[in-house]
Structure 1
Amino acid sequence: MPQRLAASSQRFSQANAIRWFWRYLSRWPLGRLWRFAAWLGPQVYRLSRRERRITNANLKVAYPQLSGHERKALAHDSLRHSTATMLELGHAWMAEPERVALGILAVHGREKLDNARAEGRGVIILAPHFGNWEVLGFWLSSHFPFTAMYEPPKMAALDPVIRQGRMRMGAQLVPTNPRGVAGLLKALKRSETVGILPDQDPDWGSGVFAPFFGRDAYTATLLPKLVARTQARVVTGVALRLPGKGFEIHFLDADERVYDADDVQSASGVNASVEDAVALAPAQYQWEYKRYRKTVQEQQKLANFRDYRIY
């Protein structure tokens, strides 16, 4: 019991320190945040073996045509941008809303959302881990009734901070379970906007394998279920960072395969849509995420094990 109490106290102290750090950084101008990220990113590359290894491995899959030197340079840039995203959380969640809004310098493709809603359709935003997705969420919830799925962080003491930051402009958060899916369906049937992270690794049974930068990645199958039941339009949305200056919001037409009733075809369209967004600025994608964690071979082993248990 004393050990558990000590561990709980330590986590609470860590969460308070992180919250204080975000609050402190929320007062910084974006130019200063970027200069800090530009200095800190190379230190992350040098000192964090995990991030360095995964980033380089993913870039080798995605851009085999690049030389080793070019991939290393791209990996350095990627970790600068990922570091900037973490430093900018205070800006997105805690800075005065007027200041966050002023940092959004342009919005491209808004008519895709307006036209869909004028037709009485809901809109599903595919929001990959690109640029600053929290700034994208800020803009969406400032302009539309917006609902997104939310999974509490492992550090539970940070949950209130993140919830408050994401909901402060009116967004609704629903859990990552059947109740949350029902919440998304209701929002879409009201012709509202919902957000989905298309590049997370779903649990077994909740996805299919589909190509992502030429290699099969286990991809969630939630999207075709939502589209089939609501006839919603699907749009890819990102907040592109203009280093030291601000952000540009881009809404892109999703690959037409996302509307296919076949799960594999729809998932292929989702991944192609993410690829189109990444093409805007490859260094701004979060390449340190283990997108290829699950494999077809592992799926087959699980299936064989289940068959064995049945008999």
Structure 2
Amino acid sequence: MKDRLTDALYGLGWGAVKRLPEPVANGLGRAVADFAWSRRGKGVTRLENNLARVVPDADEARLRELSRAGMRSYLRYWMESFRLPAWSEERVREGFAAEGLHHLEDGLAAGRGVVLALPHMANWDLAGAWVTTKLGVPFTTVAERLKPETLYDRFVAYREGLGMEVLPHTGGAAFGTLARRLRDGGLVCLVADRDLSASGVPVDFFGARARMPAGPALLAVQTGALLLPVTLWYDASRTLQGRVHPPVEVPEGGTRTERTAAMTQRLADVFAAGIAEHPEDWHMLQRLWLEDLEARPEEPAGTGVPGQPGGSVAASPPVSGTASDRPGTEKS
């Protein structure tokens, strides 16, 4: 019954919200965000706990302010995502502005595959739709299977409708296909700030240990693809902002595992800088740091942001020599 209700609610969102006038949908999103924030549920309190690491000098009032802005950003993501299938190509092209785009364009022009790795910031679906619409570049991503299956099918159809190739995240089976796409000079986009597998790489993140997926770095090491971190944020306008950062280079020497670990740490550093600039747009409503996970051993390490299934994950096979965490099954 719960699965059917969840599927019905998402179906209602895509069926009804996309027909609302944009100002009405925006107002609805803010109202839902403010209501959820006022209820002080687990997601909101976890968001504040995470933000306390990002902004360590923030007092309680500042954290409350940030969490409220964070919930509004999170619901803005949902309102936009429900409406994206009805947006015109012009609206999509005008909806995103990117800095450092030459890093992506130069990599693709050189015939190298490119991996774009992102944290859970702002609206990566809109950024992806912009890439396929404005740049005319298709790309491949990964989504984990959801329950019920009809909900997973909804998310796959939604993202395929935006021009993405979506592979199922099934224990690393997608890794070979991603590698082939990159060797053919293609583009792969992966959300990569939270580990969903048993092969996450330990990283230092805002002064504490966390695990992040090995997939983006390992793909670059194995295929010679360019690894580009991307951060996203909302400004005061209705335009999503983004920055394509300089490439994370493959280190010389060392084992494959050591190179993968060093590159994943570099990704974590770039993510941290972007999140610190725009903490209200980091949609991390779940436990991330190892000491938080260890405090709740009954919670799977891969449990993702509640209410945001079907997203891209940085799939990877087990990496020899890397430490593994408790495996999880939900979306990051």
State the TM-score, normalizing by the size of structure 2: 0.78
Contact 1:234 / 1:258 at 8 angstroms: preserved in 2? no
Please show how residues 32-181 of structure 1 align to structure 2 within 5 Å.
32-92=24-84, 94-98=85-89, 100-142=91-133, 143-176=136-169, 177-181=171-175
- The match for 2:271 among 261, 274, 278 is 274
Output the CA distance in 1 between the equivalents of 2:152 and 2:67: 30
Contact 1:85 / 1:132 at 8 angstroms: preserved in 2? yes
Contact 1:22 / 1:87 at 8 angstroms: preserved in 2? no
Contact 2:200 / 2:212 at 8 angstroms: preserved in 1? yes
Output the CA distance in 1 between the equivalents of 2:162 and 2:251: 29
| 73-82 or 28-37: bigger deviation | 28-37
Match of 1:178, SS state, is: coil
Q: Does 1:211 align with 2:208?
A: no
Is the alpha carbon distance of 1:19 and 1:230 closer, same or farther for their aligned partners in structure 2, counting shifts above 3 Å? same
Contact 1:224 / 1:258 at 8 angstroms: preserved in 2? no
Is the alpha carbon distance of 1:296 and 1:220 closer, same or farther for their aligned partners in structure 2, counting shifts above 3 Å? farther
Output the CA distance in 2 between the equivalents of 1:165 and 1:126: 21
| Structure 2, gaps ≥5 residues long | 302-322, 325-332
Letter in 1 for 2:183: K
Is the alpha carbon distance of 1:113 and 1:102 closer, same or farther for their aligned partners in structure 2, counting shifts above 3 Å? closer
Output the CA distance in 1 between the equivalents of 2:21 and 2:235: 13
Q: Deviations over 1:83-142 (max 9, x none)?
A: 2212222122x2134254144242322211110112221110012110111112212233
Give the Å deviation of 1:44: 0.8
Please show how residues 196-275 of structure 1 align to structure 2 within 5 Å.
196-204=190-198, 206-243=199-236, 245-256=238-249, 261=256, 262=258, 263-275=260-272
Count how many residue pairs are aligned between Structure 1 and Structure 2: 291
Output the CA distance in 2 between the equivalents of 1:221 and 1:14: 31
Contact 1:208 / 1:220 at 8 angstroms: preserved in 2? yes
Output the CA distance in 1 between the equivalents of 2:165 and 2:294: 34
Is the alpha carbon distance of 1:12 and 1:296 closer, same or farther for their aligned partners in structure 2, counting shifts above 3 Å? closer
- Structure 1 match to 2:285: 288
Output the CA distance in 2 between the equivalents of 1:105 and 1:225: 29
Letter in 2 for 1:195: C
Is the alpha carbon distance of 1:295 and 1:124 closer, same or farther for their aligned partners in structure 2, counting shifts above 3 Å? farther
- Structure 2 match to 1:192: 186
| Structure 1, gaps ≥5 residues long | 1-6, 304-311
Identity of aligned pairs, percent?
18
Give the Å deviation of 1:75: 1.2
**Structure with more of its chain in helix, by fraction:** 1
- Structure 2 match to 1:19: 11
Give the Å deviation of 1:244: 5.7
Contact 2:117 / 2:216 at 8 angstroms: preserved in 1? no
C-alpha RMSD of matched pairs (Å): 2.8
Q: Does 1:183 align with 2:177?
A: yes
Is the alpha carbon distance of 1:264 and 1:105 closer, same or farther for their aligned partners in structure 2, counting shifts above 3 Å? closer
